[in-house]
Amino acid sequence: MPPADTKASNTENTGAGPHLLSQQSRQATSSAIRDLLVHARRPGIISLAGGLPSAELFPTAPLIAAASTILSQPQNLQYGLTEGEFRLREIVAEIHTTQDRLATTPDNVQIVSGSQQALDLIARVTLDPGDEVVVSDPEYLGAIGAFRGVGGRLVPIPIDSHGLDVDALDEQLRRGLRPKLCYLVPEFHNPTGQSTTVARLTRLATLADRYGFLIIEDNPYGALRFDGEPVRTIASMTENVVQCRTISKTIAPGLRVAWMIGPGWLLDAVRVAKQSVDLHTPTITQHLAGALLGDAEAHRIHMSRLASHYMERRDSLMGALDEHMPAAQFVSPAGGMFLWLTMPESVDTGRLLPFALERGVAFVPGSAFAVRGNAHHSMRLSYSTATPSELRTAVGRLAAALTDWVDGPDISSPR
């Protein structure tokens, strides 16, 4: 029999609690901004904070019609292949072959549960702790989380109105930087709304070939273009690339269907990793995605509706900003859902947020997306879910909040 005190301390040590969390999980902290944005869901607040697609554009009627056929076939409720349903991979391969003019077969396609899962799986199978990953600064938070989650070391490169500053990257590579990955949202970047020019993409592809890193071309917004011509994919410029595409912004994010197209060595490793994560992406939603993407003409009509819907919202937002906030600067996004608003240097948008919430409008402060750079006087405005009239009201409230902030007492903590 062990002495009573040993037994007590054993009991204490075996109690389940946060001490059981891994080092990595303990390091992941909740952000002050995220905590503040909980208030964005309060009734009466117009939120320009979320990155959600407009629910009124979800193709519910064709989804309902397809669901009843899909659910009536028991094999669609069965376990499926880790690489994804053959029919969906065939449709995806066909789309890439015709749209991107890149010969693609179903074997080149890996279906994933959202492109977020693609980022997570790529990070898991390529990065050891300390390995370097080039990202834009500011950057999409989900990508930052995926790379940091496995101990990746982020190398931030500025992004401007022509996209990723490839000269700055080139300079760092010349000085000895040897990243494994370079993550890029080439069109209508989240959060800045900017696209990288073809000239820069071409140079980036050359750098990937010269220095032997893999480009992650994550393009969830490219299909939502309303100005200008589609740009060439990086995959048409180099083989050192993995493309991530999703139906989250074009059909519905709740389906959790996306895909990766990339080199065989990567997809083989991703398949093994995905088996441990979720075995496969749900069969039913893959079939739903296949039904909608497979009807090319109906999908084309749906996409042009989406583009005009978002363009109208972008124009309303820009018009209201010109009217109410002439001192704020932005570059017109040619597609996607986000406008990056830059205020005078003296404005800290993180401190402005509680005043904005008081006035009934929410946005995401630029500092939430900053990797190293200084984005404190910028903010991300999403125009995807508010109506044109709500967008005008929201900007009026934002301008009023700015006046409150400049003139008023400190209310940095929300009520």
Ligand X SMILES: Cc1ncc(COP(=O)(O)O)c(C=O)c1O
Binding site for ligand X (CB under 6 A): 51, 114-116, 140, 142, 185, 190, 218, 220, 246, 248, 253, 258
Residue in this structure with the two tokens 């405005």, named with its chain if needed: 381
Work out how close the CB of 259 gets to ligand X at its nearest, in angstroms, rounded to a whole number. 10
Work out how close the CB of 244 gets to ligand X at its nearest, in angstroms, rounded to a whole number. 7
Element (H, E) at 112: strand 109-112
Work out how close the CB of 401 gets to ligand X at its nearest, in angstroms, rounded to a whole number. 25
Q: Which is nearer to ligand X, 261 or 399 (CB)?
A: 261
Q: Which is nearer to ligand X, 251 or 352 (CB)?
A: 251
Work out how close the CB of 136 gets to ligand X at its nearest, in angstroms, rounded to a whole number. 10
139 in Cβ contact with 113 (< 8 Å): no
Give the CA distances from residue 283 to residues 62, 80, 218, in Å, rounded to whole numbers and listed in that order: 18, 6, 23
Work out how close the CB of 118 gets to ligand X at its nearest, in angstroms, rounded to a whole number. 8
Q: How many CA atoms lie within 13 A of 63 on its CB side?
A: 13
Distance (Å, whole) CA 259 – CA 80: 16
Q: Which is nearer to ligand X, 140 or 330 (CB)?
A: 140
Pairing, β 163-164 against β 153-160? antiparallel
User: How many of the other CB atoms lie within 10 Å of CB of 42?
Assistant: 13
Q: Which is nearer to ligand X, 253 or 350 (CB)?
A: 253
Burial class (CB in 10 A: 0-12, 13-18, 19+), 403: exposed
Q: Where are the beta strands (DSSP E) in 229-353?
A: 241-246, 258-261, 338-342
Q: Which is nearer to ligand X, 58 or 211 (CB)?
A: 58
Q: Which is nearer to ligand X, 278 or 323 (CB)?
A: 278
226 in Cβ contact with 310 (< 8 Å): yes
- For 187-218, b/e burial (b = at least 16 CB within 10 A) is bbbbbbbbbbbeebbbbbbebbeebebbbbbb
Work out how close the CB of 248 gets to ligand X at its nearest, in angstroms, rounded to a whole number. 3
Work out how close the CB of 233 gets to ligand X at its nearest, in angstroms, rounded to a whole number. 15
Task: Give me the count of residues in the chain.
Answer: 415
Signed CA dihedral, 198, 383, 368, 26: sign only: negative
Q: Which is nearer to ligand X, 258 or 368 (CB)?
A: 258
Q: Which is nearer to ligand X, 205 or 257 (CB)?
A: 257
Work out how close the CB of 189 gets to ligand X at its nearest, in angstroms, rounded to a whole number. 7
Distance (Å, whole) CA 47 – CA 42: 9
